[in-house]
Structure 1
Amino acid sequence: MKQAYATFFALAVLAGMAPHVAAQDAPPSAPPPAEREGSGWSFAITPYLWAAGLSGDVAQFGLPPVHISPDFGKVLDNLDFAAMATGEARKGRYSIVADMMFTKISLAYGTPRGALAETARVKSSTFAGFVGGGYSLAHGDRHILDFVLGPKIWNADVKIGLEGGLLNGRSGNDNATWVDAMGGLRGRYWLSDSLYLSGWGLIGGGGANIDWDAGATLGLRISRTASAVAGYRALGVDYDRDGFRFDIVQQGPTLGVSLNF
């Protein structure tokens, strides 16, 4: 996974040589200060990598919940696969935004007391997709602040295997799909013509008891063709229905390349 990050960053630099696009980052987006005004639509897409670790409580079929709290240094070891991308269509103060992510995480974790089980092996596959509409509350020469609102769909698949203790050998696989309504703010501030800060915070619920997503990035325009962006993202969801519990936080650094056309 570390080698994938190095390769992805090299591709980001090469993308800066391609014509006809401008800077964008993930997930908030806006063209550079000199290019913000215009009567037509602008479009952006941002693939990025997210070294996401998972912590929290998972349970299935009414079995006792397994609490996951792995060491931060083992995030890349536990991450099997991750794919993320964001997109935006903007015209003036109005925008349509999308954010999609898929992660697969595997870990073995020693239980605190070990009476019911000594070790829990957890494999989690998570998809989350958000599509929303945005309106700029503030739109200046070097800043933009949007309010966004829309639905977010989740699919979580969890496999738990228990070793040792009274539940030795017990295992199961369960999944759930649900939709939450999400709302919040996305913004960007240009420190210079080539360097900018972005941040976002969304919160909501519906199928889940609570659903939130927050993060910040630092973007650097490589050229008029692309930006390299790096930051940190954290999201959490608390879903508990029909014996399936998925009360987790996923967080970690992000690295991506942003294209605008």
Structure 2
Amino acid sequence: MRKCAVLASLLLIALVGPGPVWAQAPADGWHVTVSPYFMGAAMDGTTAVAGQELDVDVPFSKILDNLQFGAMGLVVARKGNWGVGGDAIWMALGANGTAPGPLGTTGSADMNQGAFAFYGLRRLAPGADVFFGGRVNTLQAALRFNGPGQRRVDDSKTWFDPIVGLQLRTPDTGKRWHAQVYSEIGGFGVGSDLTWQVFPTIGVTLTRRSSLEFGYRWLDIDYAAGENVSLFKYDVLTQGPVMGVAFRF
């Protein structure tokens, strides 16, 4: 049900990169934006390793307790109506959870998660770009289950998801504030069964070449490989507020 609603919404929402809005670069020059940022991510979903499933629910209020390491950044380079970009996320997280079923066995999950997106873009109109590219996902997961035997299972997977989308942003009027929204959809059974993202941001210009960016990000990945005792599964919605600084070169 959640995915049907999301798919319907994605037909109406445009895709956007979280860089700030400045005047368009000359057609014969490059316009580059670099944006390091931090995301306070909550997680909700199910992960499985070696056929052992664990429901994970980490609210935003607990994310700093569970975050062991996080590094995130974005770069976009434009020239004329074309451009290229990349977005990298790496998080090391620990979380408590409950195994599905009547016994409700408790446990914990340690996950090293990376998502590395790369894409091309084409300007459709002022303030609107179409995106096309892919994301390499890598996940190292270790699950521990409480109770007799203290079971522990671990595994890692890397997979590729094609992604497409569209970017919308407010026109450059020279005002201090700007806004944009980024969303994407992908997977299509190539890697994940389905992955989607929605990422609205607002920003305030600090200097001619920098701005402070605030936003909220939803990133959902539904991936599974193998079955029975070899099942590896990651069906998790990651969401939370984002804050970063954007630099223009």
TM superposition score normalised by structure 2: 0.85
Query: Size of the alignment, in residue pairs?
Result: 227
What is the alpha-carbon distance in structure 2 between the residues aligned to residue 132 and residue 113 of structure 1?
41
Q: Aligned match of 1:202 in 184, 196, 203?
A: 184
Give yes or no for contact 2:20–2:213 (8 Å, CA) kept in 1: no
Distance 1:159 1:229, change over 3 A: same
2:156 alignment partner in structure 1: 175
| Alpha-carbon distance, 1:32 to partner | 1.6
Give yes or no for contact 2:46–2:54 (8 Å, CA) kept in 1: yes
2:119 alignment partner in structure 1: 132
Residue 123 (1) aligns with residue 110 (2): yes
| Alpha-carbon distance, 1:70 to partner | 2.8
| Alpha-carbon distance, 1:193 to partner | 2.1
Give yes or no for contact 1:30–1:36 (8 Å, CA) kept in 2: no
Instruction: State the percentage of identical aligned residues.
Output: 28
What is the alpha-carbon distance in structure 2 between the residues aligned to residue 27 and residue 170 of structure 1?
42
1:153 maps to a residue whose letter is V
| Alpha-carbon distance, 1:72 to partner | 3.2
1:49 alignment partner in structure 2: 38
| Alpha-carbon distance, 1:37 to partner | 4.2
RMSD: 1.9
Output aligned runs, 1:124-163, within 5 Å: 124-139=111-126, 144-163=127-146
What is the alpha-carbon distance in structure 2 between the residues aligned to residue 259 and residue 207 of structure 1?
33
SS at match of 1:69: strand
What is the alpha-carbon distance in structure 2 between the residues aligned to residue 97 and residue 45 of structure 1?
10
What is the alpha-carbon distance in structure 2 between the residues aligned to residue 109 and residue 55 of structure 1?
10
SS at match of 1:108: strand
Give yes or no for contact 2:43–2:59 (8 Å, CA) kept in 1: no
Structure 1: unaligned runs, 5 residues or longer: 1-25
Residue 185 (1) aligns with residue 166 (2): yes
| Alpha-carbon distance, 1:68 to partner | 1.1
1:259 alignment partner in structure 2: 247
Residue 61 (1) aligns with residue 45 (2): no
Structure 2: unaligned runs, 5 residues or longer: 1-15
SS at match of 1:29: coil
Q: Aligned match of 2:61 in 73, 77, 80?
A: 73
After superposition, the C-alpha distances for 1:65-119 in whole angstroms (9 at most, x for unaligned) are: 21112333212222221110000110121110111110111122355766262x2
Query: 148-157 or 108-117: which moved more?
Result: 108-117
What is the alpha-carbon distance in structure 2 between the residues aligned to residue 218 and residue 181 of structure 1?
27
